[in-house]
Amino acid sequence: MVVAMPKLMVAGLGNITHPLTRHSLGHIIVDTLASRLGIPLKSASGGYIGTQDVMLGDSPVSLTLYKSKSFMNISGPSIATTFRKIIPNSPSSLIVIHDSLSHRPCVLAPRLGGSANGHNGVKSIIAALGGEQGFHRFRVGIGRGDGDVADYVLGRLSKHEKEYWGTDSGDGMESVIKEITKISRR
């Protein structure tokens, strides 16, 4: 009996126009995953994409990494269109990585399904998937600053946050890969 290799798509939320900010942590993590796993990202209509068969732990996985070129709050259509081309009819094969004001900095909070919890990028994806909420979310904690929320979210990452999430050897990457590996084994 031949067992099909699991297929997963990881979509990182962010704004191309605001690199290295808390709001673009999803993009930063996708870039770091691409570097660590040797998956080249290429410009395509709507975003940057790379697909490759990789080993996660002892499991082979067909992994697609994706970053939308659209602003985060309207990135749902490009993510949904790309996802449906790669993995039709399997929402639990989509992992969305995004910033979370509700979690402390440098905390990864994985979750399957549920509401957007006020995150406009996640709302856009749910709407583009026709109300489907059964995808994975990796909520990346950024905490809350003391001032204006928009200024805080669009603020530059600290040196520690950049190292934690944006380097191949950062502890954040270990937790992201560990969670993707768990999902690939389901």
Rounded CA separation 134/77 (Å): 16
Active-site annotation holds for 18:
no
Rounded to 5 degrees, φ, ψ at 70 are: -75, 155
Question: CA gyration radius for the chain?
Answer: 15
* Closest CA relative to residue 24, chosen from 58, 63, 71, 56: 71
23, 98, 119, 136: the catalytic one is 23
Catalogue the active-site residues. 23
